[in-house]
Amino acid sequence: PPSRLPQLGTTVFSVMSALAQQHGAVNLGQGFPDFEGDPALLDAVDRAMRGGHNQYPPMPGVPALRQAIAAKIETLYGHRYDADREITVTAGATQAILTALLAVVHPGDEVIVLEPAYDSYAPNIALAGGVMVPVPLDPHTFRPDFDRLRAALSPRTRVLMINTPHNPSGNVWTADEMQQLAGLLEGTEVLVLSDEVYEHMVYDGQQHESVCRLPSLAARSFVVSSFGKTYHVTGWKVGFVAAPAPLMAEFRKVHQYNVFTVNSPMQVGLATYMADPAPYLGLADFYQRKRDRFRAGLADTPFRLLPCPGSYFQCVDYSGLPAPLAAMDDMALCQWLTREVGVAAIPMSAFYSAKAARPSIIRFCFAKKDETLNLALERLRQIQ
Ligand code: PMP
Ligand code: GLN
Protein backbone atom coordinates (compact mmCIF):
# COMPACT_ATOMS: atom_id res chain seq x y z
CA PRO A 1 0.00 0.00 0.00
CA PRO A 2 1.18 3.58 -0.56
CA SER A 3 2.86 5.33 2.37
CA ARG A 4 0.75 7.70 4.47
CA LEU A 5 3.76 10.04 4.58
CA PRO A 6 5.58 9.42 1.31
CA GLN A 7 7.89 12.44 1.41
CA LEU A 8 9.06 11.93 4.94
CA GLY A 9 12.50 10.79 6.10
CA THR A 10 13.96 10.73 9.62
CA THR A 11 13.60 13.94 11.66
CA VAL A 12 16.58 16.27 11.36
CA PHE A 13 17.02 16.18 15.15
CA SER A 14 17.74 12.44 15.18
CA VAL A 15 19.92 12.73 12.09
CA MET A 16 22.08 15.51 13.51
CA SER A 17 22.35 13.96 16.98
CA ALA A 18 23.55 10.70 15.41
CA LEU A 19 26.10 12.59 13.28
CA ALA A 20 27.29 14.51 16.36
CA GLN A 21 27.80 11.29 18.25
CA GLN A 22 29.58 9.64 15.35
CA HIS A 23 32.09 12.49 15.14
CA GLY A 24 32.37 13.27 18.85
CA ALA A 25 31.02 16.76 18.16
CA VAL A 26 29.60 19.12 20.76
CA ASN A 27 25.88 18.72 20.12
CA LEU A 28 24.26 22.15 19.85
CA GLY A 29 21.78 20.69 17.36
CA GLN A 30 18.79 18.89 18.87
CA GLY A 31 17.25 21.01 21.61
CA PHE A 32 17.85 19.43 25.00
CA PRO A 33 19.90 20.37 28.09
CA ASP A 34 23.15 18.50 28.81
CA PHE A 35 22.62 18.99 32.56
CA GLU A 36 20.26 17.39 35.04
CA GLY A 37 16.98 18.68 36.40
CA ASP A 38 16.67 19.95 39.97
CA PRO A 39 17.44 17.18 42.52
CA ALA A 40 14.28 18.26 44.39
CA LEU A 41 12.23 17.28 41.33
CA LEU A 42 14.06 13.99 40.89
CA ASP A 43 13.50 13.24 44.58
CA ALA A 44 9.80 14.05 44.28
CA VAL A 45 9.45 11.54 41.43
CA ASP A 46 11.49 8.98 43.35
CA ARG A 47 9.19 9.39 46.35
CA ALA A 48 6.15 9.05 44.12
CA MET A 49 7.46 5.86 42.55
CA ARG A 50 8.39 4.31 45.89
CA GLY A 51 5.17 5.60 47.41
CA GLY A 52 3.06 3.40 45.18
CA HIS A 53 2.16 5.72 42.29
CA ASN A 54 2.85 3.16 39.63
CA GLN A 55 -0.52 2.20 38.16
CA TYR A 56 -2.68 4.02 35.63
CA PRO A 57 -3.52 7.53 36.75
CA PRO A 58 -6.88 8.99 35.64
CA MET A 59 -7.17 9.37 31.87
CA PRO A 60 -6.78 13.21 31.77
CA GLY A 61 -3.89 13.19 34.25
CA VAL A 62 -3.23 13.26 38.00
CA PRO A 63 -5.74 15.74 39.52
CA ALA A 64 -3.14 17.48 41.70
CA LEU A 65 -0.99 18.15 38.65
CA ARG A 66 -3.93 19.50 36.65
CA GLN A 67 -4.78 21.76 39.56
CA ALA A 68 -1.20 22.99 39.79
CA ILE A 69 -1.18 23.73 36.04
CA ALA A 70 -4.49 25.60 36.21
CA ALA A 71 -3.26 27.64 39.20
CA LYS A 72 -0.04 28.57 37.41
CA ILE A 73 -1.84 29.66 34.25
CA GLU A 74 -4.28 31.75 36.23
CA THR A 75 -1.52 33.47 38.19
CA LEU A 76 0.67 34.19 35.17
CA TYR A 77 -1.83 34.81 32.40
CA GLY A 78 -5.05 35.61 34.21
CA HIS A 79 -7.22 32.93 32.60
CA ARG A 80 -8.98 30.40 34.80
CA TYR A 81 -9.19 26.88 33.37
CA ASP A 82 -11.26 24.24 35.13
CA ALA A 83 -8.69 21.61 36.16
CA ASP A 84 -11.25 18.82 35.82
CA ARG A 85 -12.56 19.59 32.38
CA GLU A 86 -10.08 21.89 30.69
CA ILE A 87 -6.56 20.59 31.38
CA THR A 88 -5.11 17.30 30.13
CA VAL A 89 -1.62 15.96 30.80
CA THR A 90 0.05 14.60 27.66
CA ALA A 91 3.10 12.61 26.60
CA GLY A 92 5.01 15.77 25.80
CA ALA A 93 3.86 18.67 23.68
CA THR A 94 4.35 16.43 20.65
CA GLN A 95 1.41 14.22 21.59
CA ALA A 96 -0.69 17.21 22.60
CA ILE A 97 -0.27 18.77 19.15
CA LEU A 98 -1.01 15.61 17.18
CA THR A 99 -3.96 14.72 19.39
CA ALA A 100 -5.47 18.21 19.11
CA LEU A 101 -5.21 18.09 15.32
CA LEU A 102 -6.70 14.58 15.12
CA ALA A 103 -9.53 15.74 17.36
CA VAL A 104 -10.68 18.74 15.32
CA VAL A 105 -9.38 18.48 11.75
CA HIS A 106 -11.70 16.81 9.25
CA PRO A 107 -10.33 15.46 5.96
CA GLY A 108 -9.74 18.37 3.62
CA ASP A 109 -9.80 21.04 6.32
CA GLU A 110 -7.09 23.66 6.02
CA VAL A 111 -4.55 24.28 8.76
CA ILE A 112 -2.51 27.47 8.57
CA VAL A 113 1.09 27.17 9.69
CA LEU A 114 3.53 30.06 10.02
CA GLU A 115 6.86 29.06 8.54
CA PRO A 116 9.55 28.34 9.58
CA ALA A 117 7.74 25.88 11.85
CA TYR A 118 8.59 23.01 14.16
CA ASP A 119 9.01 19.90 12.07
CA SER A 120 6.22 17.78 13.53
CA TYR A 121 3.42 20.12 12.43
CA ALA A 122 3.31 19.25 8.72
CA PRO A 123 3.28 15.44 9.14
CA ASN A 124 0.76 15.77 11.99
CA ILE A 125 -1.59 17.76 9.76
CA ALA A 126 -1.18 15.19 6.99
CA LEU A 127 -2.00 12.33 9.38
CA ALA A 128 -5.15 14.18 10.42
CA GLY A 129 -6.16 14.41 6.76
CA GLY A 130 -5.76 18.17 6.77
CA VAL A 131 -4.27 20.42 4.12
CA MET A 132 -1.40 22.54 5.36
CA VAL A 133 -1.44 26.16 4.25
CA PRO A 134 2.03 27.60 4.92
CA VAL A 135 2.28 31.33 5.52
CA PRO A 136 5.81 32.75 5.72
CA LEU A 137 6.93 34.74 8.71
CA ASP A 138 8.96 37.80 7.78
CA PRO A 139 12.28 36.31 6.61
CA HIS A 140 14.30 38.88 8.59
CA THR A 141 12.34 39.50 11.77
CA PHE A 142 10.30 36.26 11.87
CA ARG A 143 7.27 38.33 12.84
CA PRO A 144 3.77 37.36 11.69
CA ASP A 145 2.39 39.23 8.69
CA PHE A 146 -1.33 39.77 9.30
CA ASP A 147 -2.08 40.72 5.70
CA ARG A 148 -0.69 37.40 4.54
CA LEU A 149 -2.58 35.60 7.29
CA ARG A 150 -5.82 37.30 6.27
CA ALA A 151 -5.22 36.30 2.68
CA ALA A 152 -4.64 32.68 3.74
CA LEU A 153 -7.95 32.39 5.63
CA SER A 154 -10.68 30.56 3.73
CA PRO A 155 -14.02 28.97 4.52
CA ARG A 156 -12.10 25.69 4.88
CA THR A 157 -9.66 27.02 7.50
CA ARG A 158 -10.12 24.92 10.61
CA VAL A 159 -7.00 25.65 12.66
CA LEU A 160 -4.31 28.32 12.76
CA MET A 161 -1.12 27.15 14.48
CA ILE A 162 1.18 29.58 16.22
CA ASN A 163 4.35 29.14 18.27
CA THR A 164 5.73 31.73 20.70
CA PRO A 165 8.53 31.87 21.82
CA HIS A 166 9.40 30.51 18.42
CA ASN A 167 11.45 27.50 17.45
CA PRO A 168 13.75 28.00 15.56
CA SER A 169 13.98 31.83 15.42
CA GLY A 170 13.48 32.67 19.10
CA ASN A 171 11.01 35.38 18.14
CA VAL A 172 8.40 36.32 20.76
CA TRP A 173 4.92 37.60 19.93
CA THR A 174 3.96 40.98 21.35
CA ALA A 175 0.70 41.84 23.10
CA ASP A 176 -0.21 43.93 20.07
CA GLU A 177 0.28 40.96 17.74
CA MET A 178 -1.98 38.85 19.96
CA GLN A 179 -4.60 41.60 19.70
CA GLN A 180 -4.22 41.58 15.94
CA LEU A 181 -4.69 37.82 15.89
CA ALA A 182 -7.85 38.16 17.97
CA GLY A 183 -9.13 40.79 15.54
CA LEU A 184 -8.26 38.69 12.52
CA LEU A 185 -10.25 35.72 13.78
CA GLU A 186 -13.25 37.67 15.05
CA GLY A 187 -16.42 36.40 13.44
CA THR A 188 -14.76 33.18 12.19
CA GLU A 189 -14.88 29.69 13.66
CA VAL A 190 -11.16 29.15 13.24
CA LEU A 191 -9.47 27.38 16.14
CA VAL A 192 -5.97 28.23 17.36
CA LEU A 193 -3.35 25.69 18.34
CA SER A 194 -0.79 27.65 20.33
CA ASP A 195 2.54 25.95 20.95
CA GLU A 196 3.96 27.69 24.02
CA VAL A 197 6.56 25.14 25.11
CA TYR A 198 9.17 27.90 25.65
CA GLU A 199 6.75 30.05 27.69
CA HIS A 200 9.26 30.56 30.52
CA MET A 201 12.19 31.48 28.27
CA VAL A 202 11.55 35.11 27.39
CA TYR A 203 14.44 37.53 27.87
CA ASP A 204 15.37 41.17 28.39
CA GLY A 205 12.45 41.91 30.67
CA GLN A 206 9.80 41.04 28.09
CA GLN A 207 6.87 38.83 29.02
CA HIS A 208 5.35 35.79 27.40
CA GLU A 209 2.06 36.52 25.66
CA SER A 210 -0.06 33.41 26.02
CA VAL A 211 -3.11 33.27 23.76
CA CYS A 212 -5.16 32.66 26.88
CA ARG A 213 -4.54 36.22 28.12
CA LEU A 214 -7.22 37.35 25.65
CA PRO A 215 -10.66 35.85 26.35
CA SER A 216 -11.69 35.76 22.69
CA LEU A 217 -8.56 33.77 21.82
CA ALA A 218 -8.74 31.55 24.91
CA ALA A 219 -12.26 30.57 23.83
CA ARG A 220 -10.99 29.11 20.54
CA SER A 221 -7.53 27.84 21.52
CA PHE A 222 -5.62 24.78 22.54
CA VAL A 223 -2.64 25.98 24.59
CA VAL A 224 0.24 23.50 24.67
CA SER A 225 3.29 23.42 26.93
CA SER A 226 6.00 20.99 28.02
CA PHE A 227 7.61 20.15 31.35
CA GLY A 228 10.56 18.79 29.40
CA LYS A 229 11.57 22.33 28.46
CA THR A 230 10.66 24.07 31.69
CA TYR A 231 12.31 21.61 34.08
CA HIS A 232 15.26 20.34 31.99
CA VAL A 233 13.76 16.84 31.62
CA THR A 234 13.04 16.46 27.91
CA GLY A 235 13.37 12.68 28.20
CA TRP A 236 10.38 12.41 30.51
CA LYS A 237 8.02 13.43 27.73
CA VAL A 238 5.38 15.07 29.90
CA GLY A 239 3.45 18.13 28.76
CA PHE A 240 -0.06 19.44 28.87
CA VAL A 241 -2.83 21.08 26.92
CA ALA A 242 -5.41 23.59 28.15
CA ALA A 243 -8.60 24.34 26.23
CA PRO A 244 -12.23 25.31 26.82
CA ALA A 245 -14.40 22.36 27.91
CA PRO A 246 -16.10 21.65 24.55
CA LEU A 247 -12.75 21.52 22.76
CA MET A 248 -11.19 19.50 25.54
CA ALA A 249 -14.02 16.97 25.39
CA GLU A 250 -13.12 16.33 21.75
CA PHE A 251 -9.41 16.22 22.61
CA ARG A 252 -9.99 13.58 25.27
CA LYS A 253 -11.96 11.36 22.89
CA VAL A 254 -8.75 10.96 20.91
CA HIS A 255 -6.38 11.04 23.89
CA GLN A 256 -8.10 8.12 25.61
CA TYR A 257 -7.47 5.85 22.62
CA ASN A 258 -4.12 7.34 21.76
CA VAL A 259 -2.08 7.03 24.98
CA PHE A 260 -5.03 6.84 27.42
CA THR A 261 -2.90 8.47 30.10
CA VAL A 262 0.67 9.51 30.95
CA ASN A 263 3.12 7.88 33.35
CA SER A 264 2.10 8.24 36.95
CA PRO A 265 5.21 8.88 39.13
CA MET A 266 6.39 11.78 36.95
CA GLN A 267 2.97 13.40 37.22
CA VAL A 268 2.83 13.04 40.99
CA GLY A 269 6.40 14.32 41.35
CA LEU A 270 5.72 17.27 39.04
CA ALA A 271 2.58 18.17 41.00
CA THR A 272 4.60 18.40 44.22
CA TYR A 273 7.43 20.31 42.59
CA MET A 274 5.14 22.85 40.90
CA ALA A 275 4.06 24.18 44.29
CA ASP A 276 7.22 26.28 44.20
CA PRO A 277 7.07 28.85 41.36
CA ALA A 278 10.74 29.83 41.75
CA PRO A 279 12.13 27.26 39.26
CA TYR A 280 9.98 28.39 36.32
CA LEU A 281 10.07 32.05 37.31
CA GLY A 282 13.87 31.90 37.43
CA LEU A 283 14.26 30.12 34.10
CA ALA A 284 14.49 33.25 31.97
CA ASP A 285 17.44 34.63 33.99
CA PHE A 286 19.12 31.24 33.94
CA TYR A 287 18.94 30.95 30.16
CA GLN A 288 19.53 34.62 29.46
CA ARG A 289 22.98 34.24 31.01
CA LYS A 290 23.70 31.29 28.72
CA ARG A 291 22.37 33.17 25.71
CA ASP A 292 24.61 36.14 26.53
CA ARG A 293 27.66 33.94 27.03
CA PHE A 294 27.06 32.27 23.68
CA ARG A 295 26.38 35.53 21.85
CA ALA A 296 29.44 37.21 23.35
CA GLY A 297 31.58 34.29 22.19
CA LEU A 298 30.36 34.65 18.61
CA ALA A 299 30.26 38.45 18.53
CA ASP A 300 33.55 39.01 16.69
CA THR A 301 33.27 36.02 14.32
CA PRO A 302 31.93 36.03 10.75
CA PHE A 303 28.67 34.52 12.02
CA ARG A 304 25.97 37.21 12.14
CA LEU A 305 23.85 36.81 15.24
CA LEU A 306 20.08 37.09 14.79
CA PRO A 307 18.12 38.55 17.72
CA CYS A 308 17.20 35.97 20.36
CA PRO A 309 14.41 37.37 22.56
CA GLY A 310 13.17 33.93 23.62
CA SER A 311 13.53 30.10 23.51
CA TYR A 312 16.88 28.34 23.97
CA PHE A 313 17.93 28.68 20.35
CA GLN A 314 20.36 31.13 18.82
CA CYS A 315 20.21 31.48 15.04
CA VAL A 316 23.10 32.81 13.00
CA ASP A 317 23.46 33.89 9.38
CA TYR A 318 26.59 32.36 7.87
CA SER A 319 26.73 34.25 4.60
CA GLY A 320 29.75 36.22 5.91
CA LEU A 321 31.85 33.07 6.27
CA PRO A 322 34.71 32.49 3.76
CA ALA A 323 33.40 31.91 0.25
CA PRO A 324 33.30 28.11 -0.01
CA LEU A 325 31.49 27.87 3.33
CA ALA A 326 29.10 30.71 2.65
CA ALA A 327 28.13 29.04 -0.62
CA MET A 328 27.11 25.77 1.03
CA ASP A 329 23.45 25.05 1.63
CA ASP A 330 22.54 25.03 5.30
CA MET A 331 22.37 21.25 5.66
CA ALA A 332 25.78 20.84 4.05
CA LEU A 333 27.19 23.51 6.34
CA CYS A 334 25.76 21.79 9.43
CA GLN A 335 27.29 18.50 8.34
CA TRP A 336 30.63 20.20 7.68
CA LEU A 337 30.54 21.91 11.09
CA THR A 338 29.80 18.62 12.80
CA ARG A 339 32.52 16.66 10.99
CA GLU A 340 35.28 19.24 10.60
CA VAL A 341 34.75 21.71 13.44
CA GLY A 342 33.18 19.39 15.99
CA VAL A 343 30.01 21.39 16.66
CA ALA A 344 26.56 20.22 15.55
CA ALA A 345 23.78 22.63 14.56
CA ILE A 346 20.39 22.45 12.83
CA PRO A 347 19.74 23.89 9.35
CA MET A 348 16.93 26.43 9.12
CA SER A 349 15.60 24.78 5.95
CA ALA A 350 14.43 21.84 8.08
CA PHE A 351 11.64 24.12 9.32
CA TYR A 352 10.21 24.89 5.87
CA SER A 353 7.87 22.74 3.80
CA ALA A 354 9.20 24.01 0.47
CA LYS A 355 12.74 22.81 0.15
CA ALA A 356 13.45 25.70 -2.19
CA ALA A 357 13.60 27.96 0.86
CA ARG A 358 17.22 27.74 1.92
CA PRO A 359 18.21 30.78 3.91
CA SER A 360 21.86 30.90 5.01
CA ILE A 361 20.82 30.40 8.62
CA ILE A 362 21.59 27.69 11.14
CA ARG A 363 20.33 27.15 14.69
CA PHE A 364 22.38 26.45 17.81
CA CYS A 365 20.88 25.28 21.11
CA PHE A 366 22.45 27.00 24.13
CA ALA A 367 20.74 24.85 26.80
CA LYS A 368 24.16 23.51 27.76
CA LYS A 369 26.61 23.64 30.65
CA ASP A 370 28.86 26.68 30.46
CA GLU A 371 31.84 24.40 29.84
CA THR A 372 30.03 22.84 26.86
CA LEU A 373 29.27 26.28 25.45
CA ASN A 374 32.89 27.34 26.00
CA LEU A 375 34.20 24.31 24.14
CA ALA A 376 31.78 24.88 21.25
CA LEU A 377 32.77 28.55 21.07
CA GLU A 378 36.47 27.71 21.11
CA ARG A 379 35.89 25.48 18.09
CA LEU A 380 33.58 27.84 16.22
CA ARG A 381 36.00 30.72 16.68
CA GLN A 382 38.69 28.81 14.79
CA ILE A 383 36.75 28.99 11.54
CA GLN A 384 38.65 31.35 9.25
N1 PMP B 1 6.99 22.26 19.97
C2 PMP B 1 8.16 22.89 19.85
C3 PMP B 1 8.20 24.25 19.24
C4 PMP B 1 9.33 22.26 20.29
O5 PMP B 1 10.50 22.88 20.14
C6 PMP B 1 9.24 20.99 20.88
C7 PMP B 1 10.46 20.28 21.40
N8 PMP B 1 11.51 20.27 20.53
C9 PMP B 1 8.00 20.38 20.98
C10 PMP B 1 6.89 21.04 20.52
C11 PMP B 1 7.84 19.02 21.56
O12 PMP B 1 7.92 19.02 22.96
P13 PMP B 1 7.95 17.68 23.80
O14 PMP B 1 9.36 17.24 23.89
O15 PMP B 1 7.36 18.04 25.11
O16 PMP B 1 7.11 16.68 23.07
N1 GLN C 1 12.31 20.27 20.06
C2 GLN C 1 13.66 19.86 19.85
C3 GLN C 1 14.35 20.79 18.88
O4 GLN C 1 13.73 21.60 18.24
C5 GLN C 1 13.82 18.47 19.32
C6 GLN C 1 12.84 17.47 19.77
C7 GLN C 1 13.01 16.22 18.98
O8 GLN C 1 14.09 15.73 18.84
N9 GLN C 1 11.95 15.74 18.43
O10 GLN C 1 15.52 20.69 18.74
76-86 pLDDT, tens digit each: 999 999 999 99
> Which pLDDT value is given to residue 358?
64
Residue 94's pLDDT band (boundaries 50, 70, 90)?
Answer: very high
Model confidence pLDDT, tens digit, residues 110-121 = 999 999 999 999
- Structural domain spans, the chain: 12-30+282-380, 53-276
The protein residue whose alpha carbon is closest to atom 1 in ligand 2 is: 31
How far is ligand 1, taken at its centre, from the CA of residue 50, in Å?
A: 29
Pocket residue to mutate for ligand 1, from 12, 229, 287, 351, most atoms within 8 A of Cβ: 229
State mean pLDDT over 333-343: 97
The protein residue whose alpha carbon is closest to atom 7 in ligand 2 is: 13
Q: What is the helix, strand, coil percentage profile of the chain, to 5? A: 40, 15, 40
CA separation for the pair 99, 104 (Å, rounded): 9
pTM higher than the cut 0.90 = yes
Fold of 53-276: Aspartate Aminotransferase; domain 2 (3.40.640)
Residue 356's pLDDT band (boundaries 50, 70, 90)?
Answer: low
Q: Is the pLDDT of residue 275 over 70?
A: yes
> Which pLDDT value is given to residue 211?
98
State mean pLDDT over 144-162: 98
Model confidence pLDDT, tens digit, residues 303-318 = 999 999 999 999 999 9
Pocket residue to mutate for ligand 2, from 10, 12, 13, 19, most atoms within 8 A of Cβ: 13
Assess whether the region 12-30+282-380 and the region 53-276 belong to the same CATH fold: no
How far is ligand 1, taken at its centre, from the CA of residue 327, in Å?
A: 31
> Which ligand places an atom closest to the C-alpha of 346?
2
In the chain, % of residues over pLDDT 90 = 96
> Which pLDDT value is given to residue 359?
80
Pocket residue to mutate for ligand 1, from 16, 27, 69, 94, most atoms within 8 A of Cβ: 94
The residue type found at 279 is P
Residue 1's pLDDT band (boundaries 50, 70, 90)?
Answer: confident
CATH of domain 12-30+282-380: 3.90.1150.10
Residue 354's pLDDT band (boundaries 50, 70, 90)?
Answer: confident
CA separation for the pair 159, 10 (Å, rounded): 26
| Helical segments of the chain, H only | 12-23, 39-50, 63-77, 92-104, 121-127, 146-152, 175-185, 215-218, 227-230, 245-255, 264-273, 278-281, 283-298, 323-326, 330-336, 370-380
Q: Taking Cα atoms as reference points, which of 103, 142, 177 lies closest to residue 351?
A: 142
How far is ligand 2, taken at its centre, from the CA of residue 314, in Å?
A: 14
